[in-house]
Amino acid sequence: MHFGEHVTIDGYGGDPDLLDSEVAVRSSLEELCNVLKMHMIITPVVVEASDNGIKDPGGWSGFVMIAESHISIHTFPRRRFVSADVYTCQNGLNPEFISDFFKKKFQLEEVEMNFIKRGEKYPEHNLV
């Protein structure tokens, strides 16, 4: 048994207009929660992130807290790049489905995906 699962997505060659869309980021958070049968406990928060003058040329960052943990998305339209995390205490995520979801949503040419089992020593019972 393990506590949960974490899928990380790094997407390249995305559509700059979609990556620069507050609507696309917000709808991604909402749609993914729905299709994965997760339960939002806050309305998704999406903010414009400005150029930090280092390596982040600005874009959109979105986050939704779910009963099962969280989903976050960070876009970089000028780099045609998106970075996303889907972390849940549910077991049985389909990482390929999540990768394809982002690929379609932002019209990505290439996706790096990582799948991590979290809390592999998570106790089966309360300890105190």
Residue pLDDT, tens place only, 58-117? 899 999 999 999 999 999 999 999 999 999 998 999 999 999 999 999 999 999 999 999
Residue 99 lies in a domain: yes
Residue 44 lies in a domain: yes
Q: How many domains does the chain have?
A: 1
Over the stretch 17-37, which tens digit does the pLDDT of each residue have?
A: 999 999 999 999 999 999 999
What amino acid positions are annotated as catalytic residues?
69, 74, 89
- Look up the pTM and report it: 0.92
- CA dihedral defined by 44, 21, 78, 54, rounded to 10 degrees? -30
Residue 89 lies in a domain: yes
Residue, of 70 and 1, whose pLDDT is higher: 70
Q: In which domain, by residue range, is 86 found?
A: 4-50+58-118
Element (H, E) at 18: helix 16-19
Residue 30 lies in a domain: yes
Element (H, E) at 31: helix 22-35
| Domain CATH code at residue 73 | 3.60.90.10
Residue 128 lies in a domain: no
